[in-house]
Homo-oligomer: A and B are copies of this chain.
Amino acid sequence: LIKAWEPTLEHYPLIGIRDEEFATAKKLITKEEVRAVTLAKLRLQDDLVMWDIGAGSGSVSIEASNLMPNGKIFALEKNAQYLSFIRDNLKKFVARNVTLIEAFAPEGLEDLPDPDRVFIGGSGGMLEDIIEAVDRRLKPEGQIVLNAVTLDTLTKAVEFLEDHGYSVEITCVNISRTKGLTEYKMFEAHNPVYIIAATKDD
């Protein structure tokens, strides 16, 4: 009798997986609340193609994959340590439709199918080139979402996107949270994240 390998899959939620469940480096991960708003802004549907550029620990790809069981997600990352995190996380959360691409964007994008959705979590100093490359390939009615934590990225991303004919909506997310088990419930702030959602003007 042969028993197939089966992941001992604890029942994780579709979205709202706790940050500490991911293999990650401190400050790398998109925090769970910001991840949820990011996924909402990506306006995902079940069967889309999504690129996740600068995938970090892969948390956005993994929850996107839970939302799109018939979708195809391509996660690009070049940093060796992050790649190791992503591999561990893809396995842990059984994200079957995420393809990991070892590449430093915009390299590595040419061979992928055209995207309906693009999430840019990190750009490694290549933001303008990445936006150009994405713009050449994004399908009609596609969406680009980019998260910025510095004024410089916020300013440049908006400028580049508008230069390429996109309308942008910027959502600033400020979260503070109490810790579950402390007696006094002190609110601790997370750094604000600017979520830029861009759609091509007709």
Interface residues of A (CB under 8 A from B): 11-16, 32-33, 35-37, 39-46, 67, 149-155, 158, 167-181, 183-192
Q: A39-B36, A40-B36, A187-B150 are in contact. Are A45 and B170 (CB under 8 A)?
A: no
Find chain B residues with CB under 8 A from A42 CB.
13, 16
Which of B44, B152, B177 is in CB contact (< 8 Å) with A16?
B44
The residue from B45, B46, B177, B181 contacting A172, defined by CB atoms under 8 A apart:
B177
Contacting pair B45 A40 (CB below 8 A): no
Judge whether A170 and B186 touch: CB under 8 Å: no
Complex contacts, A35 vs chain B, CB 8 Å? 40
| Minimal beta-carbon separation of A45 from chain B (angstroms) | 6
CB-CB under 8 A from A154, the residues of chain B are 151
Kindly state the separation between the CA atoms of A96 and B190 in the bound complex, as whole angstroms: 37
Contact A151 B169 (CB under 8 A): no
**Can you list 13 contacts pairing A with B, beta carbon distance less than 8 Å?**
A12-B45, A16-B44, A33-B171, A37-B37, A67-B67, A151-B154, A153-B184, A167-B181, A168-B180, A171-B175, A172-B175, A173-B173, A174-B176
